């Protein structure tokens, strides 16, 4: 199933004004690609594809005005016949009547923005990539711990929410609890945000739902965060050898993005929030090129490789 948004949603997000008279604002926009009208007006249509937004600028309108009326109408008609989602003009440009006439023939919205192209284009691409990114929902808690996006996973009742609540109390920020919506923005980047109406609420067994910003202030929440680390809380397995040094770090596959994984056994008496905080800070060091376990291992190998130091004094006979 293709992910899409409507032209009406785009209009609301960017405060665009309608320039065409009979637009179909429910037309779908699919994919984060933005097309450009320039070469299409010259007759090359490969850059204009169905279900895509197309940008039109002052140079395009200037070129359109230089064409003969019949040729201009043919070029515009060819663009709209590609079943584009909408046409967006930037920098408060005046919309030619022929453009409105051809757009209304196919009920394709023509919208105007007050932003110049250099400001509008990157914002459109950024918005579309996030809104239309591949996604999945996972059961867990997403936190911003020391600037490290930390996704807490584990079976229901193992203590994820209680751990997250302690982290919030220690000054870290909550993204969402229970249902985490993951979006893959790039091949190497996954972003987590809240799914549905559970944003900024947390369920604590025995207490019920609590509203984090009401209890701890708006500084205790954030809207979304890159997933930099996955921490899986699990019941201890006596037959398993858990990581002791941490030189080799396992990875967790999240929508095709490989995320560093830390697995912590939940044992009575352990302070999970401290352990998660330490794991996040250690991951931050790793991103800076500082691997504590590797440094320790290298130092140990250097010491073992040194020749033994001769004794200066020996006990006589």
* Residue of 60, 144, 177, 178 with catalytic role: 178
Q: Is 160 a catalytic residue?
A: yes
How far is 231 from 280, CA to CA, in rounded Å? 9
Active site residue 244: yes
Per the residue annotation, which of 17, 139, 169, 270 is the catalytic one?
Answer: 139
Q: Which of 90, 160, 173, 225 is catalytic?
A: 160
Contacts of 29 (CB under 8 A, 6+ apart): 4, 5, 6, 7, 10, 51, 52, 53, 85, 86, 128, 132
178 labelled catalytic? yes
The answer to whether residue 92 is catalytic is no
Q: Which two tokens stand for residue 275?
A: 């352990």
Which one from 97, 240, 244, 303 is the annotated catalytic residue? 244
Find the DSSP H helices in 138-271.
160-169, 212-216
- 304-312, long-range: CB within 8 Å, 24+ apart, which pairs? none
Q: What burial class does residue 303 get, using C-beta atoms within 10 Å of its C-beta: 0-12 exposed, 13-18 middle, 19+ buried?
A: exposed
Residue 174 half-sphere exposure toward CB, CA atoms < 13 A: 34
CB 82 within 8 A of CB 50: yes
- Residues marked active site are found at 139, 160, 178, 244
């Amino acid at each position: 199933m293709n992910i899409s948004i409507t032209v009406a949603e785009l209009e609301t997000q960017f405060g665009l004004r309608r320039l065409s008279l009979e637009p179909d604002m429910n037309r779908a926009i699919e994919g984060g690609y933005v097309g450009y009208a320039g070469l299409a007006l010259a007759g090359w249509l490969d850059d204009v594809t169905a279900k895509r937004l197309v940008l039109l600028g002052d140079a395009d309108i200037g070129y359109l005005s230089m064409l003969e009326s019949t040729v201009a109408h043919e070029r515009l008609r060819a663009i709209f016949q590609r079943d584009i989602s909408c046409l967006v003009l930037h920098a408060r440009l005046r919309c030619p009547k022929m453009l409105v006439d051809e757009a209304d023939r196919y009920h394709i919205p023509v919208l105007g923005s007050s932003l110049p192209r250099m400001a509008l284009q990157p914002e459109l691409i950024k918005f579309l990539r996030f809104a239309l990114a591949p996604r999945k929902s996972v059961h867990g808690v997403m936190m911003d711990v020391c600037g490290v996006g930390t996704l807490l996973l584990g079976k229901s009742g193992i203590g994820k929410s209680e751990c997250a609540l302690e982290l919030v109390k220690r000054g870290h920020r909550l993204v969402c609890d229970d249902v985490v919506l993951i979006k893959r923005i790039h091949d190497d980047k996954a972003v987590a945000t809240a799914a549905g109406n559970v944003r900024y609420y947390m369920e604590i067994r025995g207490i019920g739902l609590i509203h984090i910003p009401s209890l701890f202030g708006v500084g205790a929440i954030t809207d979304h965060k890159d997933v930099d680390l996955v921490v899986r809380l699990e019941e201890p397995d006596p037959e398993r050898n858990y990581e002791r040094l941490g030189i080799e770090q396992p990875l967790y596959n999240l929508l095709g993005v490989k995320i560093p994984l830390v697995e912590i056994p939940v044992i009575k008496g352990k302070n999970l929030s401290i352990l998660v905080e330490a794991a996040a800070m250690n991951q931050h060091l790793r991103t800076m090129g500082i691997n504590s376990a590797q440094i320790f291992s290298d130092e140990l190998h250097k010491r073992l490789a040194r020749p033994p130091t001769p004794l200066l004094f020996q006990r006589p006979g």
